[in-house]
Structure 1
C-alpha cells in the first residue's frame, strides 16, 4: 500500500504542476491503473494524461473521477484525438487568415475575421500588402540578404535590399540597387515597381530576365542603378522561395492549413504512423471529367471496376463536368449527369464504403462567376447523388485543400499555363514552361500571381490561394500537357485533361510521396 501511496503523490504533484486540482478518488483511480507499470512508463502515462486534459479546455480546473476515466481510456487506445483527422477536405472559405507580426517575427492567426465577400475598398490594397509582407520577411532572411553577425566577415555575395522610399529620397545616382516590389503599369505602357513606401518608374530596355514567368502584379527583385528618378533594371529575378522546414519556426505549432485542429497536424505521431502503414493508399486525380460523354463514362466504369477491390483513399474529379455549354439547360444537364454517375457508382460497394469522391468545379460549371475562390456546385444540383451515395461524396470549392494524415495538398482547376504565358512581360527563351510555372507559383506564394483584371479574386479570401508555408503537393489541373515537377520538397502536378490525353490521370501515393502516371487502357488493343 505504501507503493500506491507513493504513486498517488506522484500523480498529485504532476497534475498540480499542470494547474489542475484533482479529487481524491480521481487520484486513487489513476494510481491503481499505474501501479503495475515501471517508473518510466508511469511518468510517460502521467504526461500523456495531463497533456490530453490540457487540450480538452475544461471549463474549470477541478478534475473529477469521470474526467480521468475518460482521459485514461482515450490515452490508452492508440486511437486518434478528436481533432486528428485522417482525411479532411477544407473549403476555400474556411482557410485561416495569418498575419505576420513584425515585432515578434512570427505569424499569428487573425481572429477578428469578418469574411464578407464584398468588403470595403481598402481590402483590395491590403491583399497586396499582405503578400508583400510575407515575401519581404522571407527574402530578408535568405542567405543572400541576411546580414552576418560579424560585419567584418561579410562576403561579396551579400546584397542590400532597399525600400523604394530610399531611392526616391536620393538626389544622386545610386549603383548596385536591389528592390523588392510589385511589377505594375501605373500609366499605360510604362512599368513601375511599387512597394508600401512608394513607386518608381522602370527602364527595362537592358533587362536580363532570370528563370520564371514575370507577370504584371507579381513581386520581383529588380537589380540595377537609380538615376534621374528612374530605376534602370539590369536584372529581374523572382524572390527566393523557402522550403517548409525553414518556414516552420515562424509559424510555431499554429494550424496554418485549415480544418478543425487548433494545432498543426504535420507533427502528429499517430497520423504519421497511419500514413506509413498504409503503403498502398493513394489519391487519384482526374481533370475535365465530362459526365455527359459516353466514352468518358465507359472509361470511368473501367476505373471503378479496377479500384473496387483495392479502393483508393479518394478520387478527386476536377471540372468542367460537362463537355459543352448547354445554355439555360446547363444545371439540368449536370444534375442528370451526376445522378447517372451515382447509379454507375452504386453497385461498387467496396469502393463506396472506403473511398471519398471529391468534386472540384471548373470555370464553366454552374453557378458561379469567374472569381476565385469559387463556391461548390449548388446543393440543388447535387442533391440526388448525395442521397444515393451519402457521406462518400464531397462537393467543394475551387481551389480547395485536402489534408491526409500529416500531408497537405492544395488543389485548383485553372488553365494557369495559358494565363501566365499570355500575361508575362517576357516569354522565357530557354527552359521548360512547367519548370518556370512551378518556380513562379512557389516564389509568389500564391496560386494566382496575376492582376485582378486578368483573374478576379474575392479580396478577403486571398488566403485561400496561399502557398506559404509550402504544402506537400500542389495540383494545378490545366488543359496543358500533364507534368510532375518537384521544387524545394514540394511537388506540383498537372493531371492533364482526361478526355484529351487518351484517358490518362495522376495517382499520388502518400506513404512514399510519389506521383505516378496512369492511363485507362484501350479496349480495342
Structure 2
C-alpha cells in the first residue's frame, strides 16, 4: 500500500499475517522459479530443449515451485494475417502432455503463462480456446495478463514480457551516460525505477490504455521486477 493505493490488487495484509508469511518465507530456502521467455512452441528445437529442462528438474531432489513461461508462443506474429490458431492450440496441448509425463513436476510445481507482444490478445490472458487442451493435462496452471503480479510470501513480484530495451534504445535521443555503468540493461532498470512505470515510452511508441495504466506502476512495495526480452 502506498498512500492508500493498492498496486498489487490483493488488498493489504494484517501485521500478524505478514509476520506469519515472513516466518514461512525464511523456511522456504529450497523454493525456486524457472523463467523462460520466447517459448516458440511451433519449433521442434524448442520442444526438444523443453524436454531436456523438464527431465532435468524431474530428476532433482527438489523440484521448482514455479515455472514461468513467457511468450511469444509462436514464431509467427498472431496478427490479422495469422490463421493457424488451431496449431497453437495443439502445440499447447502437446506441451501439457509433455509436462504431465513428468509426474513430480505435475504434482509439485505450478505453471504460469504470460503472453508476449505478438501473441493473441498480448495484454490479456490467452483465450480459453487456445489453452483448453493444455488444461486437460495440467490443472495447476495460471494464464495471466502481461504484465503480471504475483505474491511470494511477503514479496511482490512483477513479470513483464516486452522488448523494452530495443524500444528504449530506438527512442533514445541522447545516449545514456557511462560514468557509472555502460551496461544498457542497468540503464533500463534505472529508468523504470526512476519513472516508477514499467513502460516509460512515448505514447507514439507504446500506446496506453489509461483505464489499466495503474497495472504498470512500480511502487516501493515491489520487491522484484522480471522482464522477458528477445
Superposition TM-score, scaled by structure 1 size:
0.41
Aligned to 1:319: 71
State the 1:315 CA deviation: 0.5
Q: Does 1:276 align with 2:26?
A: yes
Structure 2: which 5+ runs fail to align?
A: none
Structure 2 counterpart of 1:404, from 152, 156, 162: 152
Aligned to 2:162: 414
CA distance in 2, matches of 1:363, 1:460: 19
CA distance in 2, matches of 1:468, 1:265: 20
Aligned to 1:424: 172
For the aligned residues, what is the CA RMSD? Answer: 2.0
Say which one has the larger Rg: 1
State the 1:470 CA deviation: 4.4
Q: Which has the higher contact order (CA 8 A, sep 6+)?
A: 2
CA distance in 2, matches of 1:315, 1:362: 16
Structure 1 counterpart of 2:103, from 333, 349, 355: 349
Aligned to 2:127: 378
Superposition TM-score, scaled by structure 2 size:
0.90
Structure 1: which 5+ runs fail to align?
A: 1-97, 99-105, 110-254, 369-373, 480-525
Secondary structure in structure 2 of the residue aligned to 1:460: helix
CA distance in 2, matches of 1:264, 1:362: 35
CA distance in 2, matches of 1:282, 1:457: 33
Quick one: structure 1 residues 452 and 304, their matched pair in 2 at CA, closer, same or farther if it must change by over 3 Å?
same
Greater strand content = 1
Which moves more between the two structures, 270-279 or 393-402? 270-279
CA distance in 1, matches of 2:16, 2:116: 29
State the 1:313 CA deviation: 1.1
Aligned to 1:292: 42
For the 8 Å contact 1:281–1:312, the answer to whether it is kept is yes
CA distance in 2, matches of 1:467, 1:348: 36
State the 1:325 CA deviation: 3.8
Structure 2 counterpart of 1:328, from 82, 88, 95: 82
State the 1:263 CA deviation: 2.3
Superposed CA deviations along residues 413-454 of structure 1, whole A, max 9, x for unmatched, are: 011111111112211252221121111100000011112221
> What is the number of residues matched between the two proteins?
223
Secondary structure in structure 1 of the residue aligned to 2:138: helix
Aligned to 1:46: none
